[in-house]
Structure 1
Amino acid sequence: MSLNNTASGQRVHIGFFGIRNAGKSSIVNKLTNQSISLVSAHKGTTTDPVKKAMEILPIGPVVIIDTAGFDDEGDLGELRKKRTYRTLDEIDIAVLVLDARSESLTADELDFVKLLKERKLPYIIIENHIDEAEAHEYSELKGESLIYVDATSDDMSQVKEALIKLLPEMKEPDLVADLVPKKSTVILVIPIDESAPKGRVILPQQMVLRDLLDHNCKAICLQPEELAEALEENKNVSLVITDSQAFEKVSKLVPEEIALTSFSILMARYRGSLATQLEGVAAMKGLNDGDTVLISEACTHHRQCNDIGTVKLPGWIKNYTGKNVEFEFSSGNEFPEDLKKYKLVVHCGGCMVNAAEMQNRVKHCKQQGVPVVNYGMAIAEFNGILDRSLKVLNN
């Protein structure tokens, strides 16, 4: 897939880590053949993670992330280190850059290798600056295959080859085409209202449409008010997939013999968190007065006056539970580390982040004993049609 038609959430995320002045930014710039990161002899030039979506041949579409040194100092340095380690939640492959000018490994470097192994993250280790010092064979890294890089050379072929070997299996999990017979007719209900982005449809809708077309299915895209006529004209519809906000209206129009689900439910299945989020649905029923719910979106956008995250969902939850529930909100990368104050996390479908990021957010919730559910599954439950919406996944 090319740079233009691969969304960030579907790209391989590669993070570069190391102590200050190890040469992380120089390697990033050479690998990408672009000046993505500032390079300086002064320690700590990179202060925040620097991201760049691009294609690296022959690897393909990637997001490259350059990070601050994990040996940074002072109060500000601690904040930078925190962001560096936070980057581990969103990467598929880690690149640890060592400095050949150092005689031995630092405690930070040894701890980082240990952390990568604990998290079972694929990684490679590069020793940089072998033009200025001899290459090392560290006893602490016995069994590791180091890549030695001359900081004055532009040859990154060894690095690319090592990354290719570590690329995750690119076979995508099933999204929708496996749920319907080949050459089926599927209706996609896509409301175009004040919440719809101008000039485009949102990523889950794009992904579903492309998956259906790739499997020779006929996809009919329409708005809710056009659904009744389309069902009358097309008697062989196998499945109707709707935007969650139109669930109530759509469910009344779709006959029971036609399968019905939502883009959000398909995304939960695609991201591998369906079972966990079903537990979140059950947790909604147990909310009480004074409980705090976190509503989180992985993307950032201008809030509409009738915004689903900050306006509609709080109203629906209060109406569903009959309780005086409190709400807090997060968006983009601002996902709280400490979740213990929350009785429930209601998260968007996570289409704008990669699978690793979304899976880590769900894992983060589970580790702290906080149930999590996505928007679409919650809305289906509010409308009493969750069981029907899940039925197609179990056939």
Structure 2
Amino acid sequence: MQQTPRANRPHIAVFGRRNVGKSTLINTLTNQELALVSDVPGTTTDPVYKSMELLPLGPVVMIDTAGIDDVGSLGKLRIKKTREVIRRTDLAILVIDPFHGAGNYEKDLYNKLQDNNIPVVVVINKIDRVKGIKQDLLDKVKLLFGVTPIKVSAHSGTGIEELREVLVNRVPRDHEQPHIIGDLIDEGDTVILVTPIDSAAPKGRLILPQVQTLRDILDNHGMGLVVKETELEGALKTLREKPRLVVTDSQVFGLVSKIVPEDIYLTGFSILFARYKGDLMKYLEGVAKLENLRPGDKILIAEACTHRRQPDDIGTVKLPGWIRSRICNEVKFDLVSGREYPDNLEQYDLVLHCAGCMLNRKEVLSRLKEANTSGVPVVNYGMAIAYLHGILDRALKPFGEAYQTWKGYRK
């Protein structure tokens, strides 16, 4: 990896009505021509994502959104896309200007951001075009949002340094967890990473969870040994001391569990990412539902990436096959991928979600929250596969609290 992955960068989204200067503000903040700028209202249609450096904060993703006051049938679709951005926003910039002011559009958006625990920085732009900001606008902003706005000119650069400093201080420090695996090992520990190389593996590289897990091992002064499942038994024999942990790709969980002795901790990349990107305890509730599926139940399979499907694809072929053969044959499946995530989750009995390595943590947690609000449990691929192969107890042992909670469920 030559740069920080997009999913590990804080996502800063810029919201506001059409033509308040959102795109110009992004360009000025970043000192780059990242966003298309025009005096024509509605130039920005779909949300635009740009990975870049915002000094002194560092690597971020800036999101330019369509106007929240867009009109017509296409305008409604654009507003819907803008609202979907909230799922993945770590910090929001709400832009108003002296000409449009602030009202119901802004207040409605602000309330939705607050409901999702997203910090909001309110900005009054285009101060270079007026002699002074009228007091009644400042009073209205304070009344609507309870904050004093930052006054800037994206055109001249006035107030931009102050805005940068505020952004640095307001970005949530928990936009990602500190460790994938580092808190489970001590300095000098050996960790074996089992990484199958099949027709679905990207040519010439490992997949992101494998690379990031290896990096976290090295960052915490551990030693990582990467092998295919066919070399695992030989690797275990060559070690003078047993490894602290073996981490495997979920699709070979069953095979690996038979090779690794019971006195060695074993878990999966997907389970590591269940807590790194999401909420391991919440996923346990999904496992409880998984084992109690009934005929006619409906499962949503949600994948964060869009990839070329293989004949034995894990999400669309293997998992549905295992569920039908080992739990209940008469269940139904729907699939969404990429940024898709339905609003009507109530129609499902369970969400079966991928590890979420291509999503930032905020979006994974937002998806979990939406499912929870709809009364639908969620389980991720790795935990489901471990359960279906009868080894979830073992795969959870490295995670003390989750393991004890699961034992309580089993009782």
TM-score in terms of structure 2 length: 0.92
Which of 75, 84, 88 matches 2:73?
75
Helix, strand or coil at the partner of 1:153: coil
Q: How far off its partner does 1:284 sit?
A: 1.1
How many residues in Structure 1 have an aligned counterpart in Structure 2? 392
Asked whether the 8 Å contact 1:101–1:132 carries over to 2, the reply is: no
How far apart in 1 are the matches of 2:23 and 2:153? 14
Query: What residue in structure 1 maps to residue 406 of structure 2?
Result: none
Query: What residue in structure 2 maps to residue 185 of structure 1?
Result: 190
Query: What residue in structure 1 maps to residue 374 of structure 2?
Result: 368
Please tell me whether residue 159 in structure 1 is matched to residue 157 in structure 2: no
Query: What residue in structure 2 maps to residue 66 of structure 1?
Result: 64
| Structure 2 spans left out of the alignment, 5+ residues | 402-411
Aligned runs of 1:12-23 on 2, under 5 Å? 12-23=10-21
| Structure 1 spans left out of the alignment, 5+ residues | none
How far apart in 2 are the matches of 1:268 and 1:129? 44
Which of 141, 145, 150 matches 1:147?
150
Which of 19, 22, 25 matches 1:24?
22
Q: How far off its partner does 1:161 sit?
A: 1.0
Tell me which moved more, 270-279 or 58-67: 270-279
Q: How far off its partner does 1:272 sit?
A: 4.1
Aligned runs of 1:1-395 on 2, under 5 Å? 4-102=2-100, 104-133=101-130, 134-137=132-135, 138-142=138-142, 143-154=146-157, 156-169=160-173, 172-234=177-239, 235-394=241-400
How far apart in 2 are the matches of 1:341 and 1:118? 23
Deviations 1:303-360 (A, max 9, x none): 1222111111111111121322111100000111111111111000001110000000
**Percent of paired sites with the same residue:** 48
How far apart in 2 are the matches of 1:338 and 1:219? 43
How far apart in 2 are the matches of 1:236 and 1:248? 20
How far apart in 1 are the matches of 2:112 and 2:195? 43
Helix, strand or coil at the partner of 2:84: helix
Deviations 1:44-66 (A, max 9, x none): 11111011011122110011000
Helix, strand or coil at the partner of 1:14: strand
TM-score in terms of structure 1 length: 0.95
Asked whether the 8 Å contact 2:293–2:328 carries over to 1, the reply is: no
Q: CA RMSD in A?
A: 1.6
How far apart in 2 are the matches of 1:36 and 1:297? 28
How far apart in 2 are the matches of 1:181 and 1:334? 39
Asked whether the 8 Å contact 1:17–1:67 carries over to 2, the reply is: yes
Asked whether the 8 Å contact 2:28–2:154 carries over to 1, the reply is: no
